[in-house]
Amino acid sequence: MKKILSYPLSIVYYILFLLWLLIFHPIQWVCFNAFGYNAHRISVAYLNWFLVRTAHVLGTTYHIKGIENLPENKPLIIVANHQSLHDITTIIWFLRKAHPKFISKIELGKGIPSVSYNLKYGGSALIDRKDPKQALPEIKKVAELINTNNYSVVIFPEGTRSKTGTPKPFATNGLKMLYKFAPDAYFLPITINNSWKITKFGTFPLGLGVKLELIIHKPMKVSEHNFEELVEKTENTIKEYIKI
């Protein structure tokens, strides 16, 4: 019965989701070109507020734990497990004060209303995973950006989403570049739970009544740890709190 109900609700969700992307694309353009970075950042935050609230159509609820662990006015390397695109909208809205940028695959930099514009002009790194000569300089650039401006960058070291919630091994090349070129930053581990259940049937229909959980763990200062130790602690912390 629940799955049958998910068909019409998924259609409503996707219509609203696309509508917000189309509405906010010109809003982003005006904000960025007429008023600059801060206006653009605020427009992106409110786009994601609408996207987060649209998921309530599916009965999705959000549970954010450890928000008090979010350092203020510090550069952050946000490291999280990855389960669905809802991870991204959740992080952008609930961690908006940290100015989150993303390490994203280059294909997302064109063709998607609002999303591509933000990735291209909002300070994120668009990388070709098959081309280290292209990817690593882009990661270096965003590392220097967050280190200078006290922004944050989000990286999903698994590379691809987990379709079952079970975490995959973390790749370390991107983390190493961020560690090296953002020496004033903090690693901030985040565990995401149940996001995969929204897409457990694939992209259609979508799962109903999901309790999406974000657990923000205590930050660790880059300059106080060697790289191997920091990555191990970060990965272990994230995976310890994943609920399968």
Structurally, the chain folds into a number of domains equal to 1
Domain that holds residue 58: 2-240
Domain at 168, CATH number: 3.40.1130
| pLDDT score recorded for residue 63 | 97
| pLDDT score recorded for residue 109 | 87
| Cα R_g (the chain), whole angstroms | 17
Per-residue pLDDT of the chain (244 residues; tens, 9 = 90+): 678 899 999 999 999 999 999 999 999 999 999 999 999 999 999 999 999 999 999 999 999 999 999 998 999 999 999 999 999 999 999 999 999 999 998 898 889 999 999 999 998 989 888 887 888 889 999 999 999 999 999 999 987 788 888 888 888 888 999 999 999 999 999 999 999 999 999 999 999 999 999 999 999 999 999 999 999 999 999 999 998 7
With b meaning 16 or more CB within 10 Å and e meaning fewer, what string describes 206-238? bbbebebbbbbbebbebeebeeeebbeebbebb
Distance CA 29, CA 86 (A): 23
pTM for this model (two decimals): 0.93
User: How does DSSP assign 189-244, residue by residue?
Assistant: EEEEESGGGGGTT-SSSPPSS-EEEEEE---EEGGGS-HHHHHHHHHHHHHHT---
CA angle 29, 93, 83 (to 5 degrees): 110
